[in-house]
Structure 1
Amino acid sequence: MNATIAIASGKGGTGKTTVALNLAAVADQPVKLLDCDVEAPNDHLFIKPGRVEERVSMVMIPEFDQERCDGCGRCKQHCRFNAIAVLGGKPMLFPELCHSCGACVPVCPRGAISEAQRSIGVARRGTKDHISLIYGVLDVGEAKSPPLIGDVKSALKDGAEGIDGQEWTGLTIIDAPPGTSCPVVAAVKHSDYLLLVTEPTPFGLHDLRLAVGMAQALG
């Protein structure tokens, strides 16, 4: 089977990790299991892979040359996320608000902004039997998980190398984060199938409806 199956839920604690793990365990072919709940990954606690490879996940942030900067404030004006403030004629960055869009770099008339990188976490890979597990671990205090989820999912890109350096065209199972916000969207988009796991409670039904709405919005 050549497909990507995402396992998600409207709320936490419904059992989506249990479903994802068991689907991977009973597969009669090699399978990649992607744990995209990078804020609290736990698939590796059950799979217990052997030798684990690790890759640092980096995002771009602007770096200011204070000697070149004339304090015009254009970088601040073009930042949609209010990640830049100008205090005393000098720019100041709030890294946790920066979305790494790079819009501030070309608008600087003095060429005082360059691109730097900072770490937001790590992507890890290990293998156990027929399961190749890839999971992310977000740095403590880091607010933005979608870029790290993107690194975990890089194995799914057509014609691109995954974290193991090889293209993958087989069965992929994605264990998504709970909820319906940006991390979940980043995890489940471009999947062939989406399986929603819920529980028989009013809260479970409410959040299931939200998850169905999210899925419909993604098409």
Structure 2
Amino acid sequence: MIISVASGKGGTGKTTIAVNLALALAKDEEKNVQFLDCDVEEPNAHLFLKPVITSSESVEIPVPKIDDKKCNYCGKCAEVCVFNAIAVTKNRVLVFPGLCHGCGACMLFCPEKAITEEGNEIGVLEEGKAGSINFTHGRLNIGEPMAPPVIRKIKKKIKKDYSDNRDNNITNHHITLIDAPPGTSCPVIESIKDSNYTLLVTEPTPFG
């Protein structure tokens, strides 16, 4: 079972709820609890759970690399890039990695086969244990604009037993808790996608 904890804004106590729910469930020795901190722009669940980190891996997205010897500056790559991550001048191709979503369209449509892909590191993923809780969180590198690729890599760590959507019963022995980012933007949608339940934490103010 997958339970996401989300909020419409920061400061509502979302992480406090998520952490304490994980600790409460972990008291049951029959339950296997997994905690994913998907608030990759400002992860802080580790401050409360104090996990022992045992592994770390980088998160990359593929970005175009131009072979100047093959490129004829036709501009087809810039034409097909809906994210404006490529600009073509008379004798130069400019690539903006921060805008690239790694879709590969530029490489696919290049008539001269002058484009290959290389990895661009945008963050890091860390795993460990907080008592009996399996802990995973990600950190988006400073200045990087796209959190969803890091979140997707975190969610790949969900074990099959934890994501069995056929069983929505809270007595399920395998439970994944996701601390989602605040707000309602793309990182939130990516975090709560495929969850069995989403718990929304609000506060008694006009902004919730």
Give the TM-score normalised by the residue count of structure 2: 0.90
* Paired residue type of 1:186: E
Aligned match of 2:52 in 33, 50, 56? 50
Counterpart of 1:62 in structure 2 is 64
Q: Distance in 2 between matches of 1:95 and 1:51?
A: 30
Mark the CA change 1:4 to 1:115 in structure 2 (over 3 Å): closer, same or farther: same
Instruction: Indicate the SS of the match to 1:176.
Output: strand
Aligned to 1:190, the other structure's residue is in SS state coil
Is contact 1:69–1:90 with CA below 8 Å preserved after alignment?
no
Closer/same/farther in 2, CA of residues 157 and 193 from structure 1, 3 Å limit: same
1:106 to 102, 105, 108: 108
Mapped to 2, the partners of 1:67 and 1:114 lie a distance apart of 13
Q: Name whichever structure is richer in strand by fraction.
A: 2
User: How far apart, in 1, do the equivalents of 2:98 and 2:32 lie?
Assistant: 38
Query: How well do the aligned residues superpose, as a CA RMSD in angstroms?
Result: 1.3
Structure with greater helix share of residues: 1
Cα offset, 1:186, TM superposition:
0.7
Shift of residue 89, structure 1, vs aligned partner: 2.9
Rounded to whole Å, the distance in 2 between the matches of 1:157 and 1:23 is: 19
| Aligned counterparts of 1:87 and 1:20: Cα–Cα separation in 2 | 50
Normalised TM-score (structure 1): 0.85
Aligned residues: 193
Task: Give the aligned partner of residue 121 of structure 2.
Answer: 119
How do 1:1-219 residues align onto structure 2 when only pairs under 5 Å count?
3-27=1-25, 28=28, 29-156=31-158, 158=160, 170-204=174-208
Q: Give the Å deviation of 1:31.
A: 0.5
**Once the 2 structures are TM-superposed, how far is the Cα of residue 115 of structure 1 from its aligned partner?**
1.1
One-letter amino acid of the counterpart of residue 137, structure 1: R
After TM superposition, give the deviation of residue 53 of structure 1 in Å.
1.1
